[in-house]
Amino acid sequence: MNLQSEIPLHYMLVLSTIVFFVGLMGVIIRRNLITMLMGIELMLNAVNINFVAFNHYLYPNRLEGHFFALIIMAIAAAEAAIAIALIINIYRRFATVSVDDVDELKY
């Protein structure tokens, strides 16, 4: 079904923007490493919506946005895996996953 008539493009885009910045705020606010990761996932997903919306509304004859979103998902998965592995390692080293205690790279 073609949504061009029913829902204007910028609804999607505004939605994507809101989710992105909410995710960003989550990254900045949260003190637990895992909840920071959740914020990052939110950001990635917001971007996915963006690509897919552009593909559907502006270039319906092509599939660029679709594949881009697909690749992004694969990358997000890989990145989440590595992030979790790192978090486990940090937990073993510092016995905490609070980001305040992982600041040894300071001045």
Q: Residue 65 in contact with residue 54, Cβ under 8 Å?
A: yes
**CB atoms closer than 10 angstroms to residue 16:** 20
Q: Does 69 bind another protein (CB under 8 A)?
A: yes
Of residues 79-98, those binding another protein (CB under 8 A): 79-82, 84-89, 91, 97-98
Of residues 22-41, those binding another protein (CB under 8 A): 22-32, 34-39, 41
Query: At its nearest, how many Å lie between another protein and the CB of residue 16?
Result: 9
Compute and round to an integer the Cα radius of gyration of the chain.
18
Q: Residue 38 in contact with residue 26, Cβ under 8 Å?
A: yes
Query: At its nearest, how many Å lie between another protein and the CB of residue 93?
Result: 10
Q: Does 48 bind another protein (CB under 8 A)?
A: yes
